[in-house]
Structure 1
Amino acid sequence: MKKFEEKTYQTETIYTGKIVQLDVDSVTLPDGHTSKRELIRHPGAVAVIATTQEGKLVLVEQYRKAMEKSIIEIPAGKLEPGEEPKACAMRELEEETGYTTEDLELVTSFYTSPGFADELVYVYFTDHIKPMDIQPDGDEDEFVEVMELTLDEAVQLEKDQRIHDAKTAYALLYLQLKQK
């Protein structure tokens, strides 16, 4: 057994929903004792740092029920079964913002909450966006407002906690470092 590895000897699925699955794993710890781990299984997601030719960041504002408030975020969404992250990033950019691009560059990927969830988010960047000829229909249960902000405006919204999520905070840091 590796130094910190926990071996699962039983998994009980408590809930399977449209987006997540909740499992309770019974594990053997490195010292031989046992414990339980509550785990959220998620198919993964993408996020897109998109800037206009004028250098403005494209963001969307939407209501987030888990937080009971609206926040401003970079465009993002869940991977569909078998979907490649880059294709998902293009789809989400188009659906949420009405912009498209031919140039998406993978920046990084990260786990959102590795203590209890396996969600992996792939972050892409583009500074070559253009409005789509025909505006797409978004998801039927998703209501978003598109906005374009300067980096300074976005940083102020982060200070005001209107931008209050990790992927968008990462995007702002990425753009700040890119300017240097």
Structure 2
Amino acid sequence: MSNQKESPTYLQQRLFYRGRKFNFDVHTLRLPNGVEGNWECIRHPGGALAVPITSEGKLVLVKQYRFAIEGRILEFPAGTLEVNEDASITIQREIEEETGYHAHKWNYLGQFPLAPGYSDEYIYAFLAQDLEKLEKPPQQDDDEDIEVILMSFDEFEQAILTGELIDAKSIASFFMAKLWLIEEDKR
């Protein structure tokens, strides 16, 4: 006898919306217990995020307007993966475009689902070190309004504790980077 649960049966899949960054579809499923219903899902190609740290130990963050929450939010530089693009290429481009820094040292921290209750998006997190400030200012996309902010680890942790608007992918990646750095110090 297997310990694995039986998977639901897919009865129908409908695409409701095709956007420039994601699609929205609805699946009609029959669960193993016989119940049928509709489940909505945002289909997203995934995103790459960097936790950039300057030689002075400052975190490089961006504060930008996000339409969905109707306000500015503090986050690490990140971007959507292009079709067939490796996440490491995505984030190298995005860190320069959003912050004006180039990183010479990269470490892959891991990946995690962003919002598995309604989306298939994964975030691929990287630690970016040995930063070099580029001579040219950042070349932001037309739809971006970004302010670059430097913070110490303590300042960032305090911002989390006081409820400053920081997105979940940045908080999760910060702690992944912090644990990675602790392990690196042990080596």
Question: Could you say which TM-score interval applies, normalised by the shorter chain?
Answer: over 0.9
* Aligned pair partner of 2:62 in 60, 63, 74: 60
Corresponding position of 1:103: 105
Q: Which amino acid aligns with 2:104?
A: E
Corresponding position of 1:117: 119
Q: Which amino acid aligns with 1:88?
A: T
Task: Tell me if 1:151 matches 2:175.
Answer: no
* Aligned pair partner of 2:164 in 159, 162, 165: 162
Give structure 2 stretches of 5+ with no counterpart: none
Q: For the structure 1 residues 68 and 32, does the alpha-carbon distance in structure 2 shift closer, same or farther, using more than 3 Å as the test?
A: same
Question: Do the aligned residues in 1 keep the contact of 2:109 with 2:176 (CA within 8 Å)?
Answer: no
Once residues 57 and 178 of structure 2 are traced to their aligned partners in structure 1, the CA distance between those partners, rounded to angstroms, is 12
Following TM superposition, the consecutive aligned residue runs of length 4 or more in structure 1 with deviations greater than 4 angstroms are none
TM-score, L = length of structure 2: 0.89
Question: Do the aligned residues in 2 keep the contact of 1:154 with 1:163 (CA within 8 Å)?
Answer: no
Question: Do the aligned residues in 1 keep the contact of 2:104 with 2:129 (CA within 8 Å)?
Answer: no
Question: Do the aligned residues in 1 keep the contact of 2:73 with 2:165 (CA within 8 Å)?
Answer: yes
* Aligned pair partner of 2:74 in 72, 91, 96: 72
Give structure 1 stretches of 5+ with no counterpart: none
The percent of aligned pairs where both chains have the same amino acid is 35
Question: Do the aligned residues in 2 keep the contact of 1:72 with 1:163 (CA within 8 Å)?
Answer: yes
Deviates more, 1:133-142 or 1:108-117: 133-142
Shift in Å at residue 173 of structure 1? 2.1
Question: Do the aligned residues in 2 keep the contact of 1:155 with 1:172 (CA within 8 Å)?
Answer: no
TM-score, L = length of structure 1: 0.92
Q: Which amino acid aligns with 2:170?
A: T
Q: How many residues align?
A: 180
Shift in Å at residue 63 of structure 1? 1.0
Question: Do the aligned residues in 1 keep the contact of 2:11 with 2:29 (CA within 8 Å)?
Answer: yes
Shift in Å at residue 179 of structure 1? 4.3
Deviations 1:65-102 (A, max 9, x none): 11111111010111111211000010111100000123
Shift in Å at residue 4 of structure 1? 4.6
Once residues 73 and 160 of structure 2 are traced to their aligned partners in structure 1, the CA distance between those partners, rounded to angstroms, is 10
Q: CA RMSD in A?
A: 1.8
Q: Is the partner of 1:15 in helix, strand or coil?
A: strand
Deviations 1:23-78 (A, max 9, x none): 01011212233221011111110110110001100000001111111111010111
Shift in Å at residue 115 of structure 1? 1.1
